[in-house]
Structure formats: C-alpha cells, structure tokens
Structure 1
Amino acid sequence: MQQVVAGQQAPATPPPADGRRSRWTEHRRARREELVAAAVEAVRATGPAFSVDDVARSAGVSKTVIYRYFSDKDELVDAVLGRISEAILLPRLLGELVIDRADDRERLSAVIAAFVSLVEDEPELYRFAYAHAGRAGRPDLVAATEREIAEALGAMMGERLTAAGRPAEAALTWAYGVVGMVQLSAHWWSAARSVPAPALVEQLTALAYGGLGALLPPLRGQEPR
C-alpha cells in the first residue's frame, strides 16, 4: 500500500487507457486499408478514369461508406498512389538494385527489365500513376518514387567512385539521367509497343551501359589485366 507523507499529496493515479478509442483507431486504419485495396482492384479493372462508384462495387459497400473514411476522391486517389508506390513500384525496383550481380551491365539490365515488366504486368496501375502525376496542390508520389530510386542508384555509384579514389559528385547526375531515360522511354513504349519488351530492355541497357561503363570504375575483380 502506498504511504503518504504528512503534508504531501499522493501522486495522482494515471487514468486507465481508453481501450475503446484505440480499438476504434485500429479498426478505422484497417478499414481504410481494405478500401484502398479495393480501389487498387477497381483501377486494375477500369483504368485511370475510375470512379468512387467503381471502388464501392469492388469493396461491396455503398459510396457513403467510402466517404466515412476518405474526405473526398482526391484523398482516395492519394492513398491509391501511395499503395502503388510503396507496395508495387519500390519493392520491385529497389529489390533489384540490392541484389549482388556479376557486373554492372547485368545489374542495369535487371532493373530496367523490372520496370518494363511492371508496365507489362500492371498497365492500368501504370497509366493511373502517370495520369495523376503532378496534380496541382497534391503530393507527386510518382516523382517521389523516381527520386527514391535515383537516390539509391546514385548512392551506389558514389560509393564505387569514392572507393576508387575518384570524385563522386557526378553520381546523382548519372543516376537521375538513367532513371529519367528509362521512365520516359518506357512511357512512350507503353503506348507504341513498336518493339518487343526484351528488345526494349536490351536497347535501354546498351544505351545506359554505354555511358556508365566508361564512367564508373570497374567492379573489384573485374579490373582489366
């Protein structure tokens, strides 16, 4: 039992945690995640012009339920863009970057192939992401995704240059150049489809490696003899 010294006030007992509030917060978060997943499926089915009605049908609820969890369609679009970036784009592309491969050309080819396969595998999600890129007053999550990939690629290039005793300030320029080249070419190809996907990957790899192969120091163990 806690004793109280004369003249002193017993410390206040903290109020019990509001379990109902925390359960409601978790329920609301989980419900939003379910609705975002339904919205992603609606985009897969209908493309960039999806409506809140499409999301409601995909989720099996009314539009009224959607608007309990999202203030308007723009907020829902932001959530879908975030899911595409975090769960689809970044895992594929960053995952390829960190895999140890035999040489730079193979690594470049793998990353470019991952992006091209994304355009092939998820054409409606890709079209949706770029249709909503750069909306006035809204976060540009596509640009943020590209920036994250370019920064990761630039960091790897910078480490290579530093390890070879060479200045590393050009690394980010090269990285953004490669990412921009691949993104714009793939965007053109997604509509034109003038060459098969493997040919596109080889053409972009040849162009990127033609520059980087001359600029980057060789990987350890691959120095010319």
Structure 2
Amino acid sequence: MNTALQDPSSPAPSDGRSLRWEAHRAERRRELIKAARRAVHTLGAGASMEEIAAASGTSKSVYYRYFGDKAGLQQAMGEIVLSQMQDKILAAGRTASSPRAGLQAMVSAYLQMAQTSPNVYAFVTGGPAGESAGNTGPRFADSLTSFFEAITAMMERALRAYLESGSSAPKVGIAAGFWPTAALGMVRAAGERWLATAPGPDKPTEAQMTQQLTVWLFDGIGYEPGPG
C-alpha cells in the first residue's frame, strides 16, 4: 500500500461500534437520571442510592457505574433541573411589561418550579430537606453558582431599568448594587421555608407568596399588600 498518497490531515475512519456504544451509554444515562428524578420525587431528598436504584428497577451498582457516587448523581440531575428552572425563570422575566412585573414573574416561576417537586429541588440544591447539603462536588457547585448568577444578573438589569425610570432615584443609596444579591437570597430562603411548611391555613398559596415577596422587594417590610 502506498502510504505516501494518504492525507495525514484527514481523520481516521470512525469506529461505528464505538459511536453506537457512546450513543447507547448517553441514552442509558438519561434514562437513569429520569428514573432517579421520579424516585427522589416519591421517596424524598434523603433517599439512598440503594433506594433510588430499587425504585428505578435496577441495581445500585448500575448507578455507581454511570455516576460514581450519590454526589455524581446529584450533579447530573442538578445540571438538568437547574437548566430547566433557569430557562423558565429568565423567560418569565423577559416577557414582562415592567421591571416590577418582571421580578414578580421571575419569583412566581421560581416558586412554581420548586413546588413541582420540593424533594427534587432539595436534592439538587442541598436545601433543608436534603441530605446532600455540604456534599456538593466542585463541578456541581459551579452549576449551582452559575444558576444563581444568571438570575442575579437579570434582577440587576430589572433594578437598573427601574431606577432609570426616575421614580425612585432620590431614595437610592450607593449600596443599591447589592440589592439583586440580597433580593435573591431572600427569595431563596423564604421560598425554601415555604416549601418545607406543611399544608394548612397558615401556609400562603404560591400566588400569595409571590405577591408578598414582590412587595417586600420593592416596598419594604412594613407594607401590606392589597387584596387579590
């Protein structure tokens, strides 16, 4: 064979079997994440790998093979869940007619997504209901940080638009730039406590919680929202 005629820059022929195996492995991984998400939704954020595997109809060794350990599963599930939440929250803010309406829409989207499955939310964020708090690996910590940074950045743009309208400029101090971080911290902390509160007459609805948080963000603690 005359190797001199071969183009060294051309890629080597792909191994079809290897590509099929990679595709199969990726699909199997997605299936396992979906099954684990359903299991955590039912069993709770503190479910063990053995419980998750059993509820998923497979063995614990399969999950360890694909994710390494519980932190690896938390990371994989978290990247998907947080991406979905981020898309929903930012889309809600972009379609609003005013900065205040945008913030209210974002708070509502956040609470709705978290309320869809408090157990899954706690599992992927290390919230108060989860055993995973404090066990977050570096890569997942980066995903969680990026999630909150994206929302904070949009809240900052909403605040800037609100201030530039001139309606509150005389009342704004030099610390206003810290408002988005403080606001997000309050929404997250209040939202997680709301999620953990047992249903009853003293628990606000999602709409009531959204309205109250929006009032606190824009009007302060002493302001009482009107009916509706």
TM-score of Structure 1 vs Structure 2, range by shorter chain: 0.7 to 0.9
Structure 1, 201-210 or 104-113: larger mean CA deviation: 104-113
> What residue is the counterpart of 2:196 in the other structure?
191
Q: TM-score by structure 2 length?
A: 0.74
Distance across 2 between alignment mates of 1:189 and 1:9: 71
Distance across 2 between alignment mates of 1:23 and 1:72: 26
Aligned partner letter, 1:179: L
> What residue is the counterpart of 1:153 in the other structure?
155
Contact kept in structure 2, 1:36 and 1:76, CA below 8 Å: yes
Q: Please, which of 52, 56, 59 is the counterpart of residue 59 of structure 1?
A: 56
Deviations 1:51-81 (A, max 9, x none): 2223323332222322332222221121122
Q: Map 1:101-116 to 2 at 5 A.
A: 101=97, 103-116=98-111
> What residue is the counterpart of 1:97 in the other structure?
93
Q: Map 1:68-87 to 2 at 5 A.
A: 68-87=65-84
Q: Return 5+ residue gaps in structure 2 as ranges.
A: 221-228
Instruction: Give the greater-gyration-radius structure (CA).
Output: 1
> What residue is the counterpart of 2:211 in the other structure?
202
Measure how far apart 1:23 and its partner are.
1.4
Q: Please, which of 33, 38, 41 is the counterpart of residue 35 of structure 2?
A: 38
Contact kept in structure 2, 1:42 and 1:58, CA below 8 Å: yes
Distance across 2 between alignment mates of 1:11 and 1:192: 69
Aligned partner letter, 2:219: G
Identical-pair percentage: 28
Distance across 2 between alignment mates of 1:201 and 1:208: 11
Q: TM-score by structure 1 length?
A: 0.75
Report SS of the residue matched to 1:9: helix
Aligned partner letter, 1:96: A
Measure how far apart 1:134 and its partner are.
4.6
Aligned partner letter, 2:218: Y
> What residue is the counterpart of 1:220 in the other structure?
none
Deviations 1:82-128 (A, max 9, x none): 222112x2122112111132x33322222212222233322212222
Distance across 1 between alignment mates of 2:213 and 2:157: 21
Structure 1, 57-66 or 27-36: larger mean CA deviation: 57-66
> What residue is the counterpart of 2:226 in the other structure?
none
Contact kept in structure 2, 1:154 and 1:171, CA below 8 Å: no
Aligned partner letter, 1:181: M
Contact kept in structure 2, 1:112 and 1:182, CA below 8 Å: yes
Measure how far apart 1:40 and its partner are.
0.7
> What residue is the counterpart of 1:175 in the other structure?
180
Aligned partner letter, 2:105: A
Q: Return 5+ residue gaps in structure 1 as ranges.
A: 212-225
Measure how far apart 1:135 and its partner are.
2.7
Report SS of the residue matched to 1:54: helix
Distance across 2 between alignment mates of 1:126 and 1:136: 14
Contact kept in structure 1, 2:99 and 2:161, CA below 8 Å: no
Q: Structure 1 residues 23, 172: CA separation in 2 closer, same or farther (over 3 Å shift)?
A: farther
